Amino acid sequence: MRVRSLCVLMGLVGALGCGSAPPLDQGPAPSHEPEMFEAVLTYMTLPESLPVEGDWPFDQEDANQYGAAFFLRYGHDGHNSSQLDLADQTTARDVSLVDEINRSPALLLESPSAAFMAGFALVEDYKANPDPLSLQRIDDFLSLLAIVAEGLHYYPDTFTDEQNMFGPTVLNAGMAILFLEHTLENACPNSAEHIATAETILAAGKAKAYDETRGFFLFSLKRDDLHLYPNIMEMIAYLRAYQLTSKPEHLDFALHLYEAVQPLKVAGEGRYLSPYSAKMQGAQTDDYTTFSSQNFTIMALGVAYSITGDPKFKQEIADILTWIRTTLFVNEAVGGRVLHHWMDGRVAIPSDPEFYCSGCQLQWLYLMWRLEDLIGP
């Protein structure tokens, strides 16, 4: 676990029950897991959990996106100024990072995960606060990303595990999703170009990393067993491509990828195995599931339901949420949080390399809010 400041250390002490100020005020709760939502939101808005200059403690860079995305949507829906202030703090940090990358493109290659998360955050920010300068910033970033992606042959397999623990196939999908999300969420004058770029990226990823014989995407060209993350991310990308193009082959392939990951589903529990970081965390068996991977699976299932109306996707979301609440969620002195993973028959413990991730909590809060639109109550 990375501890980046004294503020973070003090935050941990406060979270363990040594006393803290009340959390920020809350708005409405969603229809999905409302009690858990309120508990996690309470925990995330305690003074010791809040970002310092937009930098969230105990973050693996995904709070860059979800700190902005959740509090923008939640704050606007609830007319809640304190939540919008949190969104502004996070977004300001994302703007600074994207501006640096636009000036110095090499920074995109130094920390691709942080760059992508910041890019997604700016897409959300423009949706909530449209202005020409923000749109130009996103377009400049996407233009740069298109050039970099082409230089990497649209399959970025040159990064170290430290730079990108999720593997090149996930980055391939993530690049495409960024172009597609911006086109879906915002009125883009060059939307046709964005869609074409995304389809080029996806075609290259499929040519490189999709195993035609076994019917799933490889984690990388060096790891060829079945993994949840790359296939779920590619599933999201193809669903988004279908929403923008209405090409049936995109939807058919996305639904095929759903079937491809079914061997990873744990019977009777609702969760999926997600072995991408099992070795890193010290797992001794294949009984390993991360909170983060289940969040992305919920998103894929939610989008699939919104397109197809197939009740199995909605039921699966309910099953995964039940597993998270009954297995990974823990109540604290004030509020509650979800631990990083389940491993070898137990939840994460403080001595594991990772124990808790703030970005995952913010992503889950965002998902609970998005599910209202994707699948309804």
* pLDDT per residue as tens digits for the range 8-64: 333 333 333 334 456 677 778 899 999 999 999 999 999 999 999 888 998 877 888
**3: pLDDT strictly greater than 60:** no
Residue 202: CA count within 13 A, CB half-sphere: 26
Most confident of 14-28, 148-162, 307-321: 307-321
What's the rounded mean pLDDT across residues 157-165? 60
Tell me the C-alpha distance between 278 and 287, whole Å.
Answer: 9
Helix (H) or strand (E) holding 42: helix 34-44
The single residue listed with the structure tokens 């300068």 is 133
Answer whether 277's CB lies under 8 Å from 289's CB.
no
> CA dihedral defined by 69, 190, 250, 147, rounded to 10 degrees?
-80
**What Cα–Cα distance (Å) separates residue 368 from each residue in 40, 64, 72, 203, 365?**
11, 18, 14, 31, 5
Residues 6+ apart with CB under 8 A from 249: none
Residue 249: CA count within 13 A, CB half-sphere: 3
Give the range among 7-21, 271-285, 348-362 with minimum mean pLDDT.
Answer: 7-21
The single residue listed with the structure tokens 């992305």 is 296
Which of the following CATH numbers is that of domain 34-371: 3.30.420.40, 1.10.10.10, 1.50.10.10, 2.60.40.10?
1.50.10.10
* Mean pLDDT taken over the chain: 89
pTM of the model: 0.91
Residues 6+ apart with CB under 8 A from 138: 119, 122, 123, 126, 182, 186
**327: pLDDT strictly greater than 70:** yes
326 by Cβ neighbours in 10 Å (0-12 / 13-18 / 19+) ranks as exposed
Print the SS3 string covering 124-192.
HHHHHCCCHHHHHHHHHHHHHHHHHHHHCCCCCCCCCCCCCCCCHHHHHHHHHHHHHHHHHHCCCCCHH
Tell me the C-alpha distance between 269 and 324, whole Å.
Answer: 10
